[in-house]
Structure 1
Amino acid sequence: MTTRISNAPLAGLALVAGLFAADMARAEFTLNVLHTNDFHARFEPINKYDATCSAEEDAEGQCFGGSARLVTAVRQARAKAAHSILLDAGDQFQGSLFYTYYKGRAAAEFMTLLGYQAMTVGNHEFDDGPETLRAFIDRLDFPVLMANADLTRSPDLSGVVRRSTVLEVGGEKIGIIGLTPQDNAELSSPGPTITFLDPVPVVKAELAKLQASGVNKIIVLSHSGYEVDRKIAQAVPDVDVIVGGHSHTLLGNMAGAKGPYPTMIGKTAIVQAFAYSKYLGDLEVTFDDAGTVLSAKGQPILLDASVPEDGAAKARIAELAKPLDEIRNKVVAQAHGAIDGAREICRFEECPMGDLLADAMLARVRDQGVDIALTNGGGLRASLPAGDVTMGDVLTVLPFQNTLSTFETQGAVILAALENGASQMEEGAGRFAQVAGLTYRVTPGAAVGARISDVMVSQNGAWVPLDPQARYGVVTNNYLRAGGDGYAMFQTGAENAYDYGPDLADVLAEYMTARTPVTPYTDSRITVVK
């Protein structure tokens, strides 16, 4: 006799297990965080030097980014994702003639077209003061965030810029907290009515408010730099994702990347997508029902020639460019080779673009008794191409409309300035000093106050040691003279100052015109002890 065993209990268990698995699957939520940072008015495609791509380079498929290509990339990424959001981590302003001419109007138009859902305030959003930032915000249909700023005394921004916002996506609530650099007062022109705060306690407080309101998925949109973002993640482990900017950091598995994409600090995923619209960040995050990150993966999408430009967007950019063409197409000089102004060099050591600009500044005012030129590496925003150099190329390198500033000061102030320039080299800060009429040695790892040595000044055709007690004529730019990038000593230690000289771009263009063709050079005026 054969005994038959019923499969009914097993079938019931299988059904229960299936329902349980289905419930678990429903409890998971996957979100694609699309993101950009440090766009810097690069509406047109860029070349490998981060400057405007020429027609010849375009024909050879050597162009990257640009708003028309970004429109296509965002549309394609959204089509692939079940749920997605598009965020910007600041510095839409400044960097090309489009900003010089249109200020924030063009940025607002294209951010609206692209369908951004939130952005944070970068330091360059303050370059023309809170009034210009407010005019930009008034044109947007999405929230602008900045939690670590006290705006109560700012009539333009109080009640307009939010600390955080909540986006509803696929039935889920996503909390977004915005951050701007704590040292904004040194980096830009926010004016005296805005106070900037330490991001860590601000994030803790804002996160607690969001959690108390039932939001369990938290993204910090941070224009603070990669290293600061890592510190925030360590200090506030309940943050799920940090979308970064400011340091122009490339993350991923490609050449030149500074770390993985995402960089995981505990359970916090940190991402950033270089700059200038060359990449579109795309982070896929899966949360459980409690808001815990189960997985975070992705890769910045390179917007090279394989990504087609959207036709309507390209036509609109061409229309906006018409008033700019006469200015930027004027050839001012020729160059025997590209003149390197990359931030990866000019913020860490002597670079060809730094030498050329500092020499141009000193040459312009040497007959006024000026001995030394000093400018910040962060003021150099691109390289110059080989061959014809146009005014547009020069303005891409020097977009800030800074003017020459001259003054007299003691040698001790110069030493303090060089020390300040070396004070944040490990972070890639823009304050690193490019110089002319001066040579110096910098040891980044030395103690504070001992990083600068062997400072020599050119006087009467000879190199002599800098005398801390002697008086010297100095030329810099008006941004540093006003204390920007930590150069407070130029604000307090200057005598007979004049801050309204010619525009740096005009000074450089005229210097190159008088010496065309120009050959790139460095001459060991700065020695960095590795």
Structure 2
Amino acid sequence: MKRRDFIEKTAASTAILGLGLSLSSFTAEDVKQITILHTNDVHSHIDPFPSDDPRNPNMGGVARRAALIETIRHDAENVLLLDAGDIFQGTPYFNYYGGELEFKLMSMMKYDLSTIGNHDFDNGIPGLYAQMPHAKFDFISANYDFKNTLMDGLVKPYKIFVKNGVKIGVFGLGVKLDGLVDKKMYEETVYNDPVEVSQDMVRILKHEQKCDLVICLSHLGYEYKNDKDMICDLKLATLTQDIDLIIGGHTHTFLDKPTVVKNLIGNEVLVNQVGCYGINLGRIDFFFDTNKNKVSSGKSIIV
């Protein structure tokens, strides 16, 4: 689908009618639209894939992503741009610049927020710390405790945004590092249980801060069919409540649209992930009426 076609098809009126809602209860005048754009596991892929690549010819690339984001921002006023981690590692750009280029380009694209993936520790805590001044956006992780490392104070558990009167709370989660990352790379970083941490974040964001939309920015992985004990995004959705959207990473899962999961009390949660290497950009639109009732429409866009 062409970019302009996608943008037009996800305009408020089209999405509302497509979801079967009557305009008497959800009219154009009282709709507030929040657009969430997201990436994950870009892995230092700055350039598009070459034309002779057997799997992804001419796909991806920072320049194309930036142009697409700018086009969407021109069409939709209330946009958040998020990344679900593993920004580092995968091309010689990381080997040479150590993450500086990735953070500078994300800052130029005006990312609002990112969580931290396991490969973001590949140059160790000192390597990640050294690149932080190049990021003009915040990092969040509620279940990584960095208090005995150089990263102490540089990573927040959550961040709250207000867009057109809609309050949006976003918290971050990271995958278990033990057995996945060399201990010397993450040092004294403490991993805390993501389910327990999520419930604490929901209590703060939904019930204390009264957020209208709660988003989990996760690097836990979409699903683990061979390891039922590992917490993944699908399992997290079923074991918690009051999370509206889980944006995931780590497993490089390509979804054409968000998966809908029933949470602990039977309400719907959207779970989305857009593969890897900057090939796709995720877009999810939420539409709020005057009573803050909401509906959503989501899709992955090829860059």
- Partner residue of 2:199 out of 201, 204, 222: 204
- Partner residue of 2:217 out of 211, 217, 221: 221
- Partner residue of 2:43 out of 35, 40, 45: 40
Alignment partners' CA distance in 2, 1:197 and 1:35 = 25
Alignment partners' CA distance in 2, 1:101 and 1:165 = 32
**Equivalent position amino acid for 2:188 in 1:** T
Question: Does the aligned pair in 1 maintain the 2:88–2:119 contact within 8 Å?
Answer: yes
1:349-388 to 2 correspondence within 5 Å?
Answer: none
- Partner residue of 1:120 out of 98, 115, 120: 115
DSSP-derived class of the 1:98 partner? helix
**Equivalent position amino acid for 1:45 in 2:** P
- Partner residue of 1:230 out of 215, 231, 234: 234
Q: Which moved more, 1:123-132 or 1:92-101?
A: 123-132
DSSP-derived class of the 1:184 partner? coil
1:184 aligns with 2:177: yes
DSSP-derived class of the 1:265 partner? strand
Cα distance change on mapping 1:26 and 1:242 into 2, 3 Å: farther
- 2:12 is matched with which residue? none
**Equivalent position amino acid for 1:185 in 2:** D
1:93-112 to 2 correspondence within 5 Å?
Answer: 93-112=88-107
- 1:328 is matched with which residue? none
Question: Does the aligned pair in 1 maintain the 2:199–2:241 contact within 8 Å?
Answer: no
**Equivalent position amino acid for 2:159 in 1:** T
Alignment partners' CA distance in 1, 2:147 and 2:57 = 47
Give how far 1:24 is off: 6.8
Cα distance change on mapping 1:176 and 1:272 into 2, 3 Å: same
- 1:502 is matched with which residue? none
- Residue-pair matches, total: 263
1:249 aligns with 2:253: yes
1:264 aligns with 2:257: no
1:286 aligns with 2:279: no
DSSP-derived class of the 1:301 partner? strand
- 1:240 is matched with which residue? 244
**Equivalent position amino acid for 1:221 in 2:** L
1:29 aligns with 2:32: yes
Deviations 1:32-90 (A, max 9, x none): 111100000000111xxxxxx26xx39xx931001111111111222222421110000
Give how far 1:99 is off: 0.1
**Equivalent position amino acid for 2:128 in 1:** L
Question: Does the aligned pair in 2 maintain the 1:217–1:291 contact within 8 Å?
Answer: no
Alignment partners' CA distance in 1, 2:26 and 2:273 = 34
- Partner residue of 1:173 out of 163, 167, 170: 167
Question: Does the aligned pair in 1 maintain the 2:115–2:218 contact within 8 Å?
Answer: yes
Alignment partners' CA distance in 1, 2:128 and 2:290 = 38
**Equivalent position amino acid for 1:197 in 2:** N
1:48-447 to 2 correspondence within 5 Å?
Answer: 53=50, 57=52, 62-154=57-149, 156-181=150-175, 183-189=176-182, 190-211=185-206, 212-227=208-223, 228-252=232-256, 261-266=257-262, 267-288=268-289, 291-292=292-293, 294-303=294-303
Question: Does the aligned pair in 1 maintain the 2:89–2:119 contact within 8 Å?
Answer: yes
**Equivalent position amino acid for 2:177 in 1:** N
Give how far 1:26 is off: 5.7
Give how far 1:205 is off: 0.2
Question: Does the aligned pair in 2 maintain the 1:66–1:277 contact within 8 Å?
Answer: yes
Question: Does the aligned pair in 2 maintain the 1:174–1:217 contact within 8 Å?
Answer: yes
More helix by share: 1
Give how far 1:166 is off: 0.7
Cα distance change on mapping 1:194 and 1:65 into 2, 3 Å: same
Give how far 1:171 is off: 2.5
Structure 2 gaps of 5+ residues are: 1-22, 224-231, 263-267
Deviations 1:264-304 (A, max 9, x none): 11311111111101111111122345655x3222221112x
For the aligned residues, what is the CA RMSD?
Answer: 2.1
Alignment partners' CA distance in 1, 2:212 and 2:285 = 17
Cα distance change on mapping 1:199 and 1:288 into 2, 3 Å: farther
Alignment partners' CA distance in 2, 1:263 and 1:113 = 31
Pick 1 or 2: higher relative contact order, CA cutoff 8 A, min separation 6: 2
**Equivalent position amino acid for 2:210 in 1:** G
Q: State which structure, 1 or 2, has the greater radius of gyration over its C-alpha atoms.
A: 1
Alignment partners' CA distance in 1, 2:204 and 2:27 = 28
Question: Does the aligned pair in 2 maintain the 1:30–1:287 contact within 8 Å?
Answer: yes
Cα distance change on mapping 1:82 and 1:43 into 2, 3 Å: same
Give how far 1:27 is off: 5.4
DSSP-derived class of the 1:71 partner? helix
Alignment partners' CA distance in 2, 1:282 and 1:86 = 9
DSSP-derived class of the 2:186 partner? coil
